[in-house]
Structure 1
Amino acid sequence: MTIQIKIIFLLLTAVLLPGLNFGQTAKEIIEKMDKKMRGETIQVEIEMDIVRPRFSRTVGIKSWAKGKDYSMILITSPARDKGTSYLKRQKEIWNWVPTIERTIKLPPSMMSQSWMGSDFTNDDLVKESSVVEDYDHSILKSEKYQNSDCHVIQMIPKPDAAVVFGKVLVWVDKELFVELKVENYDEYDNLVSTIFAYDIQKMDDREIPTRMEMIPADKPNQKTVLRYKNMIFDKPIDDSFFSVQRMKDLR
């Protein structure tokens, strides 16, 4: 192939196949996905279904977050838990328990414990790690998943990152830049848990999954389901909102 023909071929490819996103790195894809799901700020109403072999229960949640450093969570139901709240500022987390009118700062020893009896932990609330900065990313392949064309991206934690997993695989929709599946592996390459995302709908100004299921690999017939009822992105929230005093007064 002559140089002239190569140039013509490249020009035609750029015009006819713009959807292939030439030059887009794995890190750029993950960064775009993360920004879409977070926004600058986010306000969310969620129903969390905790499913166990012998029972299930639903927890109502309101949540506010700003960047990676600030978040507030209020439990709105059931009645016995209503008014319980959680505050995260940087790497610290507090819990307000209205039944005993007490604020508790959670110590590191409690970070691995279950949050509200779900498959999430207290450490999941703190989210010290960044999917963008704390991993090395690579595109493994393209794959059809849930009738969507997806990038399958491997994320390996950097040596000094505060990450509990040895490897994470993410299926990212090529058009919408949302995650459709996440597989978490330990340092021995054993599957720990899988997150499935469903029901893509328009929330505020963007299309995102509105139902997510976390399924632990070693606990049959057990899962936690998050159902997003309402989401507001990029509405300004002052840093002062995320205070210990405010968490006691949330409604």
Structure 2
Amino acid sequence: MTTIFFILLTNWHQHLALTATEVVQRANDNMRGETSQSELIIRTVRPTWQREMTVKTWMKGEKYAIVLIKSPAKEKGVVFLKREKEVWNWVPALERSIKLPPSMMTQSWMGTDFTNDDLVKESSIVEDYIHSFAGDTTINGRECYTINMVPKPEAAIVWGKLTLNIDKKDFLELHTKFYDEDGELINIMNAYEIKTMGGRLIPTHIEMIPADKPNQKTVLIYSSVTYNEPIPDTFFTLQQMKKLN
């Protein structure tokens, strides 16, 4: 009994000693891994219609990402590439690659409620923000940290403020509010259906809900994830982007 109590007390002290930045770092690392490859369904829900896309992604750290649309047929083969701080889009029908300017990061990604930045992660939730604890809460029976994030003065990023709720035990980001530069609530993100996938516990359903449009949302559903398989930096190039059809 004494040993069990000591272990619990040690874990409690470790969590107590974490800074807000360290909590965000752990949540970010948990979802990303050193590398990840995933198959996703992205379901856009509107009052009178729904649309589904299937997507494959490759990510390496925070510098590299590729998102390939596999269906529907109209968008099949469209690719988004993040390399360092540059974001590119390949459109097979036009046979051309387009560099996306920073101003487009706030725009809707493929007509969904996610922004371009949400999908390719041009900004870093660890490096580009100042983090502070704002209390505790409970979400779906899980005790969570509430953390406010405001952009660093030099960071060119999308949001004016974010409020994250991160599970204290497994460091899962379960609920996030996105605010613009004027402090107006824009989007609400919920994460649920927590399962072991790719050898780690993650939320497998993530929904984005516009604050002023409660009857619409976009749901991102993980079909499969593989973590920490080596991916060379040379995979994340304009040439490779064009070959992924």
Counterpart residue number, 1:40 = 34
Among 232, 235, 247, which residue is 2:226 paired with? Answer: 232
Higher alpha-carbon deviation: 76-85 or 128-137: 128-137
Letter in 1 for 2:101: P
1:61 shift after superposition:
0.1
Contact 2:80 2:120 (C-alpha < 8 Å) held by counterparts: no
- Superposed, 1:1-251 pairs within 5 Å as 17-20=9-12, 21-251=15-245
Q: Structure 1: how far apart are the matches of 2:11 and 2:186?
A: 34
Counterparts in 2 of 1:176 and 1:123: CA distance versus 1, 3 Å: closer
Distance 2:223 2:142 in 1: 24
CA distance in 1, matches of 2:201, 2:96: 39
| Partner in structure 2 of residue 8 of structure 1 | none
Do the aligned residues in 1 keep the contact of 2:46 with 2:215 (CA within 8 Å)? yes
Shift of 1:210: 0.2
Asked if 2 retains the 8 angstrom alpha-carbon contact of 1:49 and 1:59, the reply is yes
Q: Which has the larger radius of gyration?
A: 1
| CA RMSD after TM alignment | 1.8
* 2:105 and 2:158 in contact (8 A); partners too: no
C-alpha change, 1:99 and 1:147, in structure 2 (3 Å) is same
Contact 1:88 1:125 in 2 (8 A): no
Q: CA deviation at 1:164?
A: 2.6
State the number of aligned residues: 239
Give the corresponding residue for 1:9.
none
Q: Give the whole-Å Cα distance in 2 for the aligned partners of 1:224 and 1:157.
A: 25
1:35 aligned counterpart, secondary structure: helix
> Which residue number corresponds to residue 4 of structure 1?
none
Aligned 8 A contact 1:165 1:187 in 2: yes
Cα distance change of structure 1 residues 35 and 109 upon mapping to structure 2, 3 Å threshold = closer
Cα deviation for residue 14 of structure 1 reads 6.4
Asked whether the equivalents of residues 113 and 210 of structure 2 are also in contact (C-alpha less than 8 Å), the reply is: yes
Give me the identity figure in percent: 51
Q: 1: CA distance between counterparts of 2:123 and 2:163?
A: 16
**Distance (Å, rounded) in 2 between the aligned partners of 1:185 and 1:194:** 9
For the residue of structure 2 that corresponds to 1:249, the secondary structure is coil
Letter in structure 2 aligned against 1:50: T
**Matched residue of 1:27: which SS?**
helix
AA aligned opposite 1:190: E
The residue identity in structure 1 corresponding to 2:217 is K
- Matches of 2:20 and 2:145 in 1, distance apart? 9
CA contact (8 A) 1:140 1:154 kept: yes
CA displacement, residues 33-91 of structure 1 (integer Å, 9 cap, x when unaligned): 11111111110100000111221100000000111111111111111111111111112
Deviates more, 1:141-150 or 1:222-231: 141-150
